[in-house]
Chains A and B, each alone.
Chain A
Amino acid sequence: MTAAIALRGIVKHYRMGDEDVPALKGIDLDVPAGAFVAVRGPSGSGKSTLLNVCGLIDSFDAGSYLLAGEDVGGLDETARTLIRRQKIGFVFQSYNLVPVMSVRDNVEYPLLLGQMAPAERRARVDEILGQVGLAGLAGRRPDQLSGGQRQRVAIARALVKSPTLVIADEPTANLDTATAQQVVDLMKALGARHGATFLIATHDERMTEHCDEVRALTDGVLA
């Protein structure tokens, strides 16, 4: 079976003034399709950088990256954007919902970018909103929702296009224990249903205990 993510020798440096700061030092990582994998590590260990590279929102300096078997290492920004549009969903720590869009509009946005027909868009959005338990709140704005509800909207937005990969950066960090548990359960259930691979950056034990695999990242090196 083709791995959803196959990283080999990924190196990433940041420039801080005149200094090159290594963020990732030769990362090798294989994530099977449909897996629920967490990357754990202290602040500054390179978790977010690794997720950004895997989510194609950041480039890397050396190494290779196969996303569902496709080499995405040498692509330009437009090609990376189009891959993100089709194959990658994101769940952010602060939800990052667009405040002037309703719940429905936020979830629909990735489908709109994919130029899906309106009727199909509507059906997909209704289906995913039902799956995350927000069917009755489709017309609300994000500021009319609780933190847990917002994160569920973000999960729906990430999964609505049935992506290959979902990148989740500290998805439960802003949630209370009960809500975080619900969000983790929801991500896992929907991930399985949509066949999506989850790569999650977290230091939340509540999260890691539900993952298929937990990898520790320290100073840019994956254990």
Chain B
Amino acid sequence: MNAWLLAWRNVLRNRRRSLVTILIATVGCAAVLIASGFALYTYAALRDGAAKEFGNVTVGAPGYFDRDEETPMQFGMADYRALTARLMRDKRVRRVLPRVALSGLISNGDKSVIFMGLGADVAAEAEVRGPFLEIKEGSTRPIAGHEDLPRVLLGTDLAKSLDAHSGTGLTLLGTTTSGGINAIDVMVVGIVSTGWRDIDKRLVYTDVPTAQRLLMSDRISTLSIYLGSVDATPAAFAQLSAADPAHSYKPWWEQSFYYHSVRAIYNRIFGLLGLIIATLVFFSVANTLSMAVVERTREIGTLRALGALPQEIVAQFVREGALIGVVGAAAGTLLALFVVLALPHAGFEMPPPPGRSVGYPLLVNFSLPLYLAVDAGIVALCAVAAWFASRKASRRSIVEALAHV
């Protein structure tokens, strides 16, 4: 006689009740897997976005990341070309992009607004950032007949504010490294969106020479290092920073506060959700097996009289609970996998998160460690619920149990 076969027969004693319990375990398991998979997808998307926005690793001059600049480019890097060439020799490095951070006023003659600018290789930025920098209008190329004018790309909301389009001439005003005011005329060649409304209200993209001209400096703010994959960041960061003590290196996760905030919130939300689901599954299984225990009181008394120890009685119920968990977890896993595979074809879209102007696709990631952990958790939960339901009955007086009607 196989103890597990006996447990399965006991599970099937009251098929409808067991089926309902298994369904609850199934739905609970699937809900946890889908919610966790969605969180994993969100984390991965945020991680990719952050790595594309900042670069896998950012390099600055000493003090750049720790102190506030009193004048523009106080902690700028002058030796960036040599450093770029050196970094590019590393096989893991795909691109090294210079960036110049600048701010000031942008004016169309009638209206002036504050801008936050970035001097960069705009075409390369658009390429590495992919969907995280969408060109809504125009392009990064100069407009025919105006090749001599410095080019800028504006954030969508800034363009709207200034009533600017491709071909519109604007003036940038900024503080130079020596504290003076400088102004240059520029031409809008494109409108871009980062998906962040607050950034798109202030964003000006221009090339590095134009930014340096405005600041009257030959320095840049940072170099953004792009690697082949986000996963390569920790090792590359450790090695690159160790090999170059003359500069400061920052990985993407030390710069993306949004990633950490969202992750912290999602961990709490989905953690709470998981706890609620676990509680429901626990009490459902405990309830089912409590009823089974009551119905089988006399049988428990008989088995105890025949020489079964209380822990052997409990073990039998724990096996039954575990079987309910195994079937529920297996069915829940299949349901979750179906959702994982079906969602990309369904085309569901999440609404824009707070502060963002664009939504994102509703997708759920698959993770083998997650699935194994959740499935094991469901089985363990059901087993513990069975232990909880049967532990008292197993120690009940045998005489009373045998007299139970």
Contact = CB atoms under 8 A, between A and B. Distances in A.
Contact of B399 (A58, A82, A157): A58
Interface in A138-191: 157
A101 B398 contact: no
Interface in A65-117: 78, 81-82, 84-86, 88, 90, 92, 96, 98-101, 104-105, 108-110, 112-114
A113 B307 contact: yes
A57 interface: yes
A109 B1 contact: yes
Interface residues of B, number: 21
Interface of A: 52, 55, 57-58, 78, 81-82, 84-86, 88, 90, 92, 96, 98-101, 104-105, 108-110, 112-114, 157
Interface stretch (B132-140, B208-216, B295-303): B295-303
A78 B307 contact: no
- B interface: dominant SS: helix
A100 B306 contact: no
Interface string B214-256: 0000000000000000000000000000000000000000000
B202 interface: no
B10 interface: yes
Residue of B10, B298, B302, B303 with highest tally of chain A CB at under 10 A? B302
Contact of A113 (B9, B298, B308, B398): B308
Contacts of B298: 96
A109 B6 CA distance: 11
Contacts of A109: 1, 303, 306
A88 B12 CA distance: 31
Contacts of A58: 397-399
B249 to A, nearest CB: 64
B6 A101 contact: yes
Contact of B309 (A81, A90, A98, A99): A81
B305 interface: yes
Contacts of B305: 55, 57, 84, 90
A92 B404 CA distance: 14
Contacts of B302: 90, 92, 96, 98
Nearest to B7: A100
B78 to A, nearest CB: 82
B9 A84 contact: no
B46 interface: no
Given A100-B6, A105-B6, A113-B312, A90 B1 contact: no
A81 B12 CA distance: 29
Contact of A84 (B6, B10, B306, B312): B306
B398 A110 contact: no
18 contacts: A55-B305, A57-B304, A58-B398, A81-B307, A81-B308, A82-B307, A84-B305, A90-B302, A90-B305, A101-B6, A105-B1, A108-B1, A109-B303, A109-B306, A112-B1, A113-B308, A113-B312, A114-B307
Pairs of residues from A and B, 10 with the lowest C-beta to C-beta distance, nearest first: A85-B307, A100-B9, A96-B302, A57-B398, A105-B1, A84-B307, A113-B307, A58-B399, A90-B305, A57-B305
> Interface residues of A: mostly helix, strand, loop or mixed?
helix
B13 interface: yes
A216 B399 CA distance: 22
B402 interface: yes
Contacts of A114: 307
A70 B402 CA distance: 26
Contacts of A90: 302, 305-306
Nearest to A82: B307
A92 B305 CA distance: 11
A92 B1 contact: no
Nearest to B10: A100
Q: Residue among A78, A92, A100, A104 with the most chain B CB within 10 A?
A: A100
A100 B304 CA distance: 17
A186 B309 CA distance: 30
Nearest to A118: B1
A110 B304 CA distance: 10
B402 to A, nearest CB: 7
A99 B1 CA distance: 14
B6 A57 contact: no
B13 A86 contact: no
Contacts of A112: 1
Given A82-B309, A85-B308, 11 more contacts: A52-B398, A52-B399, A57-B399, A81-B307, A85-B306, A90-B306, A96-B298, A98-B303, A99-B13, A101-B6, A113-B308
Contact of B307 (A86, A98, A101): A86
Contacts of A157: 306
A84 B299 CA distance: 16
